[in-house]
């Protein structure tokens, strides 16, 4: 499987509108601190699936020349994770969308002018798409209702995407996501900045260690990190367009 981090930013993205901090200035001048909103592309020999559809989806899909998507999985109902789905409007009809019932109810009401193919799935129940096995697992991201992370398996390869979450993920989920080849973790800020709904970089590293992840990549990054080239010397920061083959 091939994974592309289409968008590695937090909800405001980097640069933040009106901000002149060194990280936002690096983004303005074309550096890797430029981060669009959250979306991850999963590819197999059989097709392409998106995990979340952030508001910058049109630019992201044009950027990598994608013509067709075989499915979308939504992790939760926050704007920065689904609003870009409307970019499919009049481009591709009947997109297959997957998520738990509450998430689909909310998003499809917001997108009432569109009619994707709805597929309700339950947490901890594997389903198959493009020849890969996907499992949604519960995370903690208050006040979002029933947010999930996504586990993907192909043969003996295992990838875990935390989605937006705090560090205190329930034991059932922790058991499921143990020993991944790759963990893509929400790490919104360095530990010097207080955060409630997400993990900071220290907590994300701690999660990676506790589940025995062979490799970890951070995403959902804010402008509170130093500019990418500096911060990435010490932390495994992802960046827009990053590709990982497994
Ligand atoms: Zn988010
Ligand atoms: Zn800034
Ligand atoms: Zn969120």
Cα–Cα distance for residue pair 83/218, rounded to 1 Å:
22
Ligand that lies nearest to the alpha carbon of residue 221, given by its number in the listed order: 1
Question: Binning pLDDT at 50, 70 and 90, where does residue 89 land?
Answer: confident
pLDDT, position 90: 87
Query: In Å, how far from its chain's centre is CA 160?
Result: 10
Ligand that lies nearest to the alpha carbon of residue 225, given by its number in the listed order: 2
Ligand that lies nearest to the alpha carbon of residue 20, given by its number in the listed order: 2
Q: In what order do the strands lie in the sheet with 47-51?
A: 117-120, 96-99, 71-73, 47-51, 39-44, 2-7, 242-245
Per-residue pLDDT averaged across 127-137, rounded? 98
Q: Is the pLDDT of residue 42 over 90?
A: yes
Per-residue pLDDT averaged across 124-140, rounded? 98
- The tens digit of pLDDT for each residue in 168-205 reads 999 999 999 999 999 999 999 999 999 999 999 999 99
- Give me the percent of the chain exceeding a pLDDT of 90: 97
Distance in Å, CA 186 to ligand 3 centroid = 10
Distance in Å, CA 229 to ligand 3 centroid = 26
Cα–Cα distance for residue pair 78/128, rounded to 1 Å:
25
pLDDT, position 154: 98
Distance in Å, CA 126 to ligand 1 centroid = 24
User: How many Cα atoms within 13 Å fall on the side-chain side of residue 139?
Assistant: 26
């Amino acid at each position: 499987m091939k994974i592309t981090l289409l968008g590695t930013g937090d909800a405001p993205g980097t640069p933040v509108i009106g901000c002149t901090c060194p990280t936002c200035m690096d983004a303005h001048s074309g550096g890797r601190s430029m981060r669009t909103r959250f979306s991850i592309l999963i590819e197999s020999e059989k097709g392409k699936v998106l995990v979340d559809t952030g508001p910058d989806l049109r630019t992201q899909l044009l950027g990598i020349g994608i013509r067709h998507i075989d499915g979308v999985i939504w992790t939760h109902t926050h704007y920065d994770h689904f609003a870009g789905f409307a970019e499919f409007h009049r481009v591709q009809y009947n997109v297959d969308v997957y998520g738990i019932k509450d998430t689909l109810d909310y998003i499809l009401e917001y997108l009432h002018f569109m009619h994707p193919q709805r597929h309700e799935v339950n947490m901890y129940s594997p389903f198959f798409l493009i020849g890969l096995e996907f499992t949604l697992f519960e995370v903690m991201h208050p006040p979002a209702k029933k947010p999930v992370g996504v586990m993907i398996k192909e043969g003996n390869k295992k990838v875990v995407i935390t989605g937006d979450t705090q560090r205190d993920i329930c034991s059932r989920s922790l058991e499921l996501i143990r020993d991944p080849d790759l963990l893509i973790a929400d790490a919104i800020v360095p530990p010097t900045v207080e955060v409630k709904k997400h993990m900071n970089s220290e907590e994300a590293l701690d999660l990676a260690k506790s589940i025995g992840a062979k490799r970890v990549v951070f995403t959902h990054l804010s402008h509170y990190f130093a500019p990418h080239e500096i911060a990435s010397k010490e932390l495994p920061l992802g960046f827009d367009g990053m590709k990982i083959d497994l």
